[in-house]
Amino acid sequence: MPNFITDLFFLFQRLDWVSLLDLVLVTLIFFGILLLIHDTQAMVLLRGVILLIILLSLLTSIINLPAFSWLIRTASPALVLAIPVVFAPEIRRGLERIGRAGTTTLFSHTSSSFTQELQATIKGVVTASSRLAARQHGALIILQRADSLREYVQTGVQLNAVVTPELLLQVFFPNTPLHDGAVIIADNRVIAAACVMPLSASGILNRSVERQMGLRHRAALGISEASDAIAVVVSEETGSISIAHAGRMIRRLDAERLENILMAFYRPSYLKTGPTDLLTRLFTSREKDRPSED
């Protein structure tokens, strides 16, 4: 114990502002990595890797195993090179978040004014979602913002039509050619339907109480993780309405609350406060505002 205290005092004596900055930078890097892989399957993989490293270290230090120790030393560089490959989705998502930082989040290339056309678009999405929920017709509606969704538009059937509740109801009517997939809305128009969205690698849906959320909800989270788009989902099983943004989801919304959230994203007051404040109000505090799970 006295030796430990002496060593601790020795370390504090050698600590200067450069060393402190060095420690802070290393801490921030590790914190950022943990933040990126939070709520993803990579977190489970990381726990397994750490546990494996601890077990191998204990095994090689307690028991003298020359051949096994040589194998571990030889394979370690390959394992280090494999880390970027294993965690590629999380690394890409983090770089995309950095690239989107500070960008203006508007309805694609629309002007900053809160136009009647934009209000009509949101009203049409809300009305269609409410009617689809009442009929328990599944739907996935993607609202493009600053990030282009052109690569996903090319996977579907291009429409370039005016946003109306009747059009959305017809698209998502069961067993029709366009009902399976997502509708992408940009510039206040339905750009394409039956589009294929990336599935989420997040573990959020796996921890739901009833685990009834299927591919539509995973696709909604996936596109919200890969871009700054807003995804509106109508459950085919329960008829509930959900909205996803920035890898987070608010479930069991009624028509009024859905409209309020969409309006909040595009009204001029949002442009003044900035994206961080809005996301903090809508999604960071979602546990307080969100109704009980299905």
Domains in the chain, ordered, with CATH? 2-100 (no CATH), 116-289 (3.40.1700.10)
Task: Give the list of residues 6+ apart from residue 249 with CB closer than 8 angstroms, or none.
Answer: 204, 205, 217, 220, 221, 224, 242, 243
pLDDT (tens digit, 0 to 9) for every residue of the chain, 294 residues total?
Answer: 566 677 666 666 777 778 788 888 988 888 877 776 665 556 667 777 778 778 877 877 777 878 877 877 787 777 777 777 766 766 666 666 666 554 443 344 444 445 788 889 999 999 999 999 999 999 999 999 888 888 899 999 999 999 999 999 999 999 898 988 999 999 899 999 999 998 886 666 555 544 556 788 889 988 988 888 999 999 988 889 999 988 888 888 999 999 999 988 876 544 444 444 444 444 544 444 444 343
Question: Mapped to the 3 state alphabet, what secondary structure does 118-171 carry?
Answer: HHHHHHHHHHHHHHHHHHCCCEEEEECCCCCCHHHHCCCEEEEEECCHHHHHHH
Q: What is the pTM of this model?
A: 0.61
Indicate if the alpha-carbon torsion angle 44, 245, 234, 294 is positive or negative: positive
Cβ atoms of 193 and 187 within 8 Å: the answer is no
Enter the DSSP assignment of 202.
B
Burial class (CB in 10 A: 0-12, 13-18, 19+), 104: exposed
Q: Give, rounded to a whole angstrom, the gap between the first and last alpha carbons of the chain.
A: 55
Cβ atoms of 205 and 222 within 8 Å: the answer is no
Enter the DSSP assignment of 68.
H
Task: Give the list of residues 6+ apart from residue 266 with CB closer than 8 angstroms, or none.
Answer: 106, 107, 114, 118, 122
- CA–CA separation, 53 and 131 (whole Å): 54
Task: Give the list of residues 6+ apart from residue 271 with CB closer than 8 angstroms, or none.
Answer: 104, 106, 112
Query: Hunting for tokens 């969100």 — which residue is that?
Result: 290
CB atoms near residue 29 (< 10 Å): 10
Cβ atoms of 147 and 229 within 8 Å: the answer is yes
pLDDT at position 93: 63
- Amino acid identity for residue 155 in this structure: T
Starting from the edge strand earliest in sequence, which strands make up the sheet with 139-143, in order? 157-162, 189-195, 182-186, 139-143, 230-234, 241-245, 248-253
pLDDT at position 72: 77
Task: Give the list of residues 6+ apart from residue 42 with CB closer than 8 angstroms, or none.
Answer: 86, 87, 89, 90, 201
The first and second tokens of residue 281, run together, are 């109000």
